[in-house]
Chains A and B, each alone.
Chain A
Amino acid sequence: MRAGGYAGQVLYIDLTKEEIKKEPLDLDMARKFLGGFGLNCKFAWDLLDPTVDPYSPDNMIFMGMGPMVGTAAPASNKHSVMSKWPSTGTISPGTAGGDFGINVKLSGYDEVIIKGKAKKPVYIKINGDDVQICDASDLWGKDTYETTDMLWEKHGRHYSVIAMGTAGERLVNTTICLIDKCTSWGKGGLPAIMGSKNLKAFVAHGNKGIRVADPKRLIERTRMIQQRFESYPDRQKLLDLGTMDGFVFWADIHGMSMNNWTSRFPTEEAYRLYNTDYYLENINAGRISDPTCPMGCKDHVKVKKGEYTGTEAWVSSFYGRVVHMAARCQVGSYEKNVKAQEVFQRTGLCIHSYTALIDWAVELYERGILTKKDTGGVELKHDFETTMYLAEQADKHEGLGGILSQGYKKAIQDIGRGCERYAVHVKGMEPLYDPRINRLSSAEFNQVVNPRGAHAPQGASTLYMSKDADPKGYRDWLEDRGVPKEALKRIFPRSGYFNIARLCSYAEDWVAFMNSVGMGCLRGRVDNFFKGEDWSEAYSAVTGFETSLAELKTAIRRCYNLYKALNVRVGFSRKDDVFPDRWFEPLETIDRGTMVLCDYFGTPLSREDCEKLLDDYYDERGWDIQTGIPSEETLMEIDLQDVFRDLQKRGFME
C-alpha cells in the first residue's frame, strides 16, 4: 500500500558536486519521527557532524515537510528547517507557513537536504521531478523583494519563492529568509548559511498531488474543526485585527520591556502611538493566510500618509514586529515603525534579533562602554535614526552594526569591555517575553531551556495565557492533549499551585509535534479551536496508519529527546540553560511601579527558586538533573538505543 500524506521521496542536493539525488523515504523511519521537525532531527543526527563550522560547506540545511502539509486539513502548512545556526552554534529548527512547503510536497518530496558550496551564485528550482541548480548571478546583490519579483517574472507567480536579502550574502547571521515576500524563515542565520553556500534562493511548484488514504474521514474531521472556527462569536474581530488582536495584552495586561530590559513600555504611550483604530485606518492594507489556515493573521501593510507614504510590507506576526520596533528601538510613530520593518524585510535582517541588539548597543553607549569611536561618530539613541543607521551598517556588515549583526555570542567577544553584563540572552539568542512583566509562564520558562536559545515560539506558546486567567485552562488543555494522569499529579500537586517547569515540557512537545506533522499553529487563536483527538484522527485519515494520540505523543517525545541529544553532542548542557541576570533585577516602570520576577500566582522567585524549577523540568523530561542530558533509561524507553550508545561513546554519559 502506498501511504497517504507522505510524498515518498527525500531530495539530496550537493552544491559542490552539482549533484541531485532522489531516494525513497523510509516509511518506518517516517512513522517513528513523524516528519517535518522530527525527521529533520533524525536526518541531522545521521548526517550532520556536530562539530561542523556553520559556514563550512559541510554544514547542511534540512527542510522537512510533515505528512499533513499540503492536505485539506485545517492549518496544515507548517514546514520546518534545521541547520547549525551561526548565531548560536545550536542545531535547531525554524518553522514557517507559506506556500513553499506545500509546493515541495506537491513536487514529491518530504525532505530536502542541501550541502556543499556552489562555485558561483545559484538558486534551486524544484518543479516535480525537474530539480535544477540554476544560475543566480543576476540575483546577487538584490534584496528579498527584488529577488522574489525577478524569480516570479521568470517562472511565474504560481511558484513559491524563498529569498534571502543582501545581508545574508555578507554572512550576517541575525537574519531571516522570506517566503513569497512575507513569511519569515530561519531565524538564527539561514540566509548567512545560504550565503556561505552561494545559494540565493529557492523556487518551488508542484503538481503531483498528495494522496489521502481516507478522504471521507479527513473531510468529516475538517468540517468539524472548521465549524468550531466559524461559530466563534469574535471571529470577525480576530480576522480584522490579525495578530494586532494582541495589542490590548501588550498595552494593558502584559507589556514589553524597554531600555534593554530595565523598564516597561508605558500603557499610555502604547495607546497613543499604536492603537488598533489607527492600525485599521492607516496601516493595514490586507490580510494573508497560510495554506488552509482558518484564522489568517499575516499582514499586508502600507503607509497611507506622511513622509513614508507607499511604504509596503508583507509581514507574519506583525504585532510582534510592531512591539519590537516600538519598545526596543522606540522609533516613535506607526509610519516609521513600518518603514523600519520594510528595510529589515528587504535586507533580510531579523526584526526579533536585531532590534534586541540595537537596544543593547544603546545602553552600552549610554554607559560609555561604546563611544563615538565605535559608532563612526554617531550618537546612539533609542530612535528611528539610530535604528536605520545600525540596520544599514548591519546590511553592509561594517562598523558597529556589522559587529552587532553577528549576534550576542560573537559581538560580546568583539566588543569586550565588560559588555556581557548588559547582554540579555540565552545561548546567544534574545528572549522575547519578560517574566517580570508577564510572570513566569510556560513561554517565559521555555526561553531558558529551549535548545535553540531564548526563542519563544518553539515552546509553549499555545499555552500562552493571561496572568489573570483561570489556571484551570492549563489543566483542561493538558488533559485534552492526552497528558497522563501521573504527570498531571506532578504538575498540579495541590490546589492553588502548579509547577510551570513540569508543565512546560508537555507544551514544548506539543509545538514540536505540530511542527512535525505539519498541522496546527502555536498561536492560541488557532490552537484553541483544536482538540487533541483532531490530530490522531487527521493523521490516521491522511496517512492510513491508524495511530492513537498516545502513540503520536511517544513519537514526539522521541523527536524532542533526539533534538536535545543533537545539541548535547555539540556540547550544550545544563550550564547553558541560564536565567539572564537582568530578570532578577527589579524592573522600574513609570505606570506600574516596580515589577519583580514572579511565578504565575505572583509569588516572587529568586535564582535558587528558578534553579529548583530547572531540576523539576529535567526530572519531568527524564533527563539527568546535574547535566540536563537525557538519561539512559529515557532514551531506551523511546527506542533511541543508538543515540544512547553514541552519546556514551562520545563521553557525554556516565
Chain B
Amino acid sequence: MEEKALVLHPERCTGCHACEMICSLVHDSECNLSLSRIGIMKTNGGGTNENIPVVCQQCHDPICADVCVMGAISRDEETGALVVNEDLCVGCKTCVIACPLGGVLYHYIKGCAMKCDLCGGDPECVKSCLYDAIEFLPMDEWGIKTRLKGAENLGRIFEIVYK
C-alpha cells in the first residue's frame, strides 16, 4: 500500500462548504455540515487565508486507534484509511478527545465515532473542491510539492537579498 493522505491548502479555501455537503451526502444520505467528516472552520469574514479545513490526517501512528479499548479503529489495508468499525464502537468518545487535530468526531445520530474513511480510496471532497484546497496525494509527491513551495519562497528571499 502506498501511503496517501488528504493535503489541505487553507490559503485556497473559499469556505464554500461543497466538501462538507458532499461528504455528509455520501456517508449519511443527507446534507449536513455537522455530519461531514471534513469541516471548514471559518474565522472572520471567511475568505481565503481565513478558513481552515480540518480532517483526519490518517496518522502513521494513530492515537485514536491506540486509545480505543474496543479496538474499533483499524487501518484499511487497501486504502490506508483508519476506519471505524461501528459494530465494535461503543460511543465512548475517547478517540474524539485524544485526537489533537479534530480528525475524529462523534456521530450524534448513530452514537458512534465518525471519521474520514477516504471514501474507499477516491475521496468525494477532493472532487467537489473546485478551488484545489484539498488534494489526495501519495506522500512522496507531497514531499516534492512541499519542497517546490519552499524553493519558491527561498527564491523570493534570494531575489530580495541580491537585488
Chain A residues proximal to chain B, CB less than 8 Å: 70-72, 74, 99, 102, 106, 157-158, 180-182, 207-212, 215, 218-219, 222-223, 226, 229-230, 239, 285-294, 296, 298-300, 314
Contact = CB atoms under 8 A, between A and B. Distances in A.
A294 B25 contact: no
A300 B32 contact: no
B47 A229 contact: no
A182 B50 CA distance: 13
B148 to A, nearest CB: 18
Interface string B23-49: 011101111111100000111111111
B88 interface: no
For this complex, into which size category does the number of interface residues on chain B fall?
A: 20 to 34
Interface of B: 14-18, 21-22, 24-26, 28-35, 41-50, 108, 124, 127-128, 130-131
B31 A157 contact: no
A288 B32 contact: no
Contacts of A157: 41-43
A266 to B, nearest CB: 32
Contacts of A239: 131
B17 A300 contact: no
Given A208-B32, A226-B130, A71 B21 contact: yes
B49 to A, nearest CB: 5
A448 to B, nearest CB: 35
A290 B49 contact: no
Given A106-B33, A209-B31, A212-B29, A287 B47 contact: yes
Contact of B14 (A74, A223, A296): A296
Contacts of A223: 127
B33 A72 contact: no
A196 to B, nearest CB: 28
Nearest to B18: A292
A289 B33 contact: no
Contacts of A288: 14-15, 45-48
B109 to A, nearest CB: 8
Contact of B32 (A106, A229, A294, A296): A106
A211 B30 contact: yes
Given A72-B25, A239-B131, A286 B32 contact: no
B30 to A, nearest CB: 4
B31 A70 contact: yes
B22 A209 contact: no
A290 B21 contact: no
Contacts of B48: 286-288, 300
B110 to A, nearest CB: 12
Contacts of B25: 71-72, 212, 215, 218-219
Contacts of B42: 157-158, 180
Contact of A215 (B16, B29, B32, B47): B29
B22 A222 contact: yes
Contacts of B35: 207, 209
Contacts of A208: 32
Contacts of A230: 130
A207 B114 CA distance: 15
B35 to A, nearest CB: 6
Given A291-B18, A300-B48, 15 more contacts: A72-B128, A207-B108, A209-B24, A209-B28, A209-B34, A210-B30, A226-B127, A226-B128, A285-B49, A286-B47, A286-B49, A286-B50, A292-B18, A293-B16, A299-B47
Contact of A287 (B14, B22, B30, B44): B14
B22 A72 contact: yes
Contact of A292 (B16, B47, B50): B16
Contacts of A70: 21, 31
A298 B50 CA distance: 13
Contacts of A298: 47
B51 to A, nearest CB: 9
Contacts of B21: 70-72, 291-292
A207 B32 contact: yes
Contacts of A291: 16-18, 21
6 contacts: A106-B34, A181-B44, A212-B25, A222-B22, A314-B45, A314-B46
A212 B47 contact: no
Nearest to A293: B16
A294 B131 CA distance: 8
Contacts of B131: 239, 289, 296
A229 B130 CA distance: 8
Contacts of B43: 157
Nearest to A70: B31
Nearest to A295: B130
B15 A215 contact: no
Contacts of A74: 18
B29 to A, nearest CB: 5
A212 B43 CA distance: 29
A300 B50 contact: yes
B16 A211 contact: no
A226 B21 CA distance: 14
A156 to B, nearest CB: 10
A315 to B, nearest CB: 9
A290 B18 CA distance: 10
A97 to B, nearest CB: 10
